[in-house]
Amino acid sequence: MTPNIPTERAEQVAVIEWARAHQDKEPCLEWFHCSLNGIRSNARTINKMKAEGLVPGIFDLHLDAARHKYHGLKIDMKRTKGSKRSQGQIEYADFLATEHYLAQFCYGALEAVKLLKWYLGIECNCMACQIVELWQ
């Protein structure tokens, strides 16, 4: 029997919930947001979204707060198992590096939360942190 592997969407929701729970510790998390690249839709809607600026390869999560030597943090969420990086995502990550952004592929919510905690200097073991740790 194959264990249930959380979907990328479920992993991303867990990261967003963690971020919302930590806005009091780091107010910039209020502005932590996602792109809509992962939305599944019909061709007509996708074409409208592309006309409005949707670009394949753009990372899932964006934190526009400068820390360390970076202008901001970009996270592309992946499932803990079975996820692959697209060529567009790899090229975008390379571009972000040249622009002094930290761009990371995170395999699961726990990896993304650990990265956010490091990036923001958050030391915490609250219930929200414990839930993400149990997620794995």
Q: Residue 56: which CATH number? A: 3.40.1350.10
Of 70, 54, 132, the closest CA to residue 103 belongs to: 70
Position 1 in a domain: no
Give the strand order in the sheet containing 61-63.
Answer: 33-34, 61-63, 73-78, 102-107
Mean pLDDT split into 10-residue runs, the chain, 136 residues: 73 95 96 84 84 89 98 95 91 97 96 97 91 79
CA distance 45 to 134: 37
Domain limits at 38? 8-135
pLDDT at 1: 44
pLDDT of 75-91, one tens digit each? Answer: 999 988 888 999 999 99
Expressed in percent and rounded to 5, the helix, strand and coil fractions of the chain are: 45, 15, 40
Would the pTM count as exceeding 0.85? yes
Establish if 3 belongs to a structural domain. Answer: no
